[in-house]
Amino acid sequence: MNIKKKLCMLFFSLIYDIFLKDDYYTRTTEEQAQEKDQQSKDKELTKPKKINEKDKEWIKWWSQKNEEDKTTIIEKFKALSNEQFVIWLLNKCKWKNEITENDIDSICFSIDAFLAFVTLFIILLQFIKCMHYLTAYVIVDERKKEIKVKRLTFEELVCQSYYCLEWKDFQKMRNENLKLELSDVKDNIIESDEKVKKEFESNEPTFKILWTPYQRPAIIGKTKTIKNALVIMIAISEYMDNTMWRNLPNVKEKDITNFKQLFEQELNYEIVCNLSSNMTKQDVQSFLFELVTNYQLHKNPHKYDGLIVIICGHGDNGNMLVTSDGKYVSIDRIRSSFNCHEMESFKDFPKIFIVDACRGESIPKAHEITTRGNETLYGHNDDGFLSIWSTTKGHQVADLSLLSKSIKKVITSQYKIGYPFKQMLQDIRTDIRSNKSGEWYCVESQDTTDYDILFQQRISV
């Protein structure tokens, strides 16, 4: 038996219990007096107030009417004045021969009771219906909207998310040829029932609407597609002398996570990252030497077709990475160790360097915040390198992990439609600038490639 039938039976049973049973009456009881001589005065009961037999008779009469007859009576009851309704009952309705003027009050009482319980029934149904829905939140630009989902499926989430859009959002989609995609608050793309269910395990499931190009953009000139990249990440977040170099907690807590989610989990590339947050100069040198040796990069037996090097930590003048012991490792030297002269097996590869570090002393805003590094120099003249810096020469950058967050967000949402990386860089800049702390960043790229770069998910053998 479904819930509606059960509720109907409950309500009609309630109506019967209240109005039709012979033992129905109401009475009030006052507090008994504690003195025995006052007992007779304090035990006053109201006399039973039973519904008279005539009322009960007309309630039964009403309950025997079919839905069409009830609808007709209720419509007249609502539309006509009291006098007009009486005239209609006595002279015009098909039951006029059954009704006398003395019956009018009882009939009206029956209709009022029925309408009251129908209203209560509808309210209860709506309440029960709401109990079957789960609450979530969708963020559209800066707006946060509440949605109700009945099923934990990706299809249901997308449908409900469209109800959060305003007219200006649809205009934006049309004018800029954009489509809607969904992510969690950490910018992980949601595209399956499993990911929807996982997000609903949180106390306040929240999703974000992302705008991505609907069609593959026109690409002019040559392209190279990275299908099997080697990703090398050097991430230093702990420093021995915190008076000189503050620790960078977001390198460990956010940057490593963001880049691993993008390159390892989404694109399925092989990623090699230092295990310790503390790396001395010797540790960095050993890490790179062992990597080249263990992976036989000079022979490239793994058939890598792209190199991505990520460096996060403090820096200093002269394009130097500051290690945990306060010593310097040349970022230019790391880069040159992979050029076509030093690593001939990589000579035709796209080589992307992502460096999130300061490049000077100028601070965009005068408030204290942990910053990364110092100055860098230009002069990337080797072919096949695309270097990305989190800020321009002469400026500091905050330890906010906005670069890694935006790179993950933009590449994840656009690479499947063949969006070229150089065009993604503009979207990365725009996404960072839209952040309230975006003034700390001014993404700069230095390009010696003569082609555009596409990403493709590696197919596991």
- Cβ-based neighbour number of residue 151 at 10 Å: 14
What pLDDT does 141 receive? 87
Q: Which tops the pLDDT comparison, 444 or 235? A: 235
Residue 366 has pLDDT above 50, yes or no: no
Tell me the CATH class for 134-213. Answer: alpha beta
Q: Determine the pLDDT at residue 153.
A: 92
pLDDT greater than 80 at residue 349: yes
Domain residues of the chain, as ranges?
Answer: 3-25+49-130, 134-213, 223-455
Within 13 Å of residue 343, how many CA atoms lie on the same side as its CB? 27
Query: 407: phi > 0 → left, psi -120 to 50 → alpha, else beta; which?
Result: alpha
Is the pLDDT assigned to residue 173 strictly greater than 80?
A: yes
Per-residue confidence (pLDDT) for residue 461, from 0 to 100: 67
User: Over 80: is that where the pLDDT of 409 sits?
Assistant: yes
Phi, psi of 415 (to 5 degrees): -70, -30
Give the phi and the psi of residue 455 in degrees, each rounded to 5.
-105, 145
Spatial distance between the Cα atoms of 327 and 285, rounded to a whole number of angstroms: 12
Confidence of residue 394 (pLDDT cuts 50, 70, 90): low
Q: What are the tokens at 124?
A: 């209860």
Residue 274's SS3 state is: coil
Render pLDDT for 264-278 as a digit per residue (tens, 0 to 9). Answer: 999 999 999 999 999
Q: Please state, rounded to an integer, the average pLDDT across all residues of the chain.
A: 80
Residue 23: pLDDT band (50, 70, 90) is very low
Percent of the chain with pLDDT over 70: 76
CA distance 255 to 268: 18
**Token duo for residue 301:** 């037996």
The answer for residues whose C-beta is within 8 angstroms of residue 265's C-beta and 6 or more apart is none
Concatenate the DSSP letters of all residues of 311-338 into one string: EES-EETTTEEE-TTS-EEEHHHHHHTT
Q: What is the CATH number of domain 223-455?
A: 3.40.50.1460
- Higher confidence at residue 95 or residue 197? 197
d(CA 101, CA 111): 16
pLDDT at 440: 62
Q: Is the sign of the CA dihedral 302, 308, 313, 316 positive or negative?
A: positive
Q: Is the pLDDT of residue 235 over 60?
A: yes
Report the predicted TM-score, pTM, of the whole model to 2 decimal places. 0.58
Sign of torsion over alpha carbons 87, 89, 95, 100 = negative
pLDDT, tens digit, for every residue of 415-435? 988 889 988 998 888 888 877
Closest CA to 288 of 250, 252, 337: 337
Query: Is the per-residue pLDDT at 350 higher than 50?
Result: yes
Q: How confident is the model at residue 45 (pLDDT cuts 50, 70, 90)?
A: very low
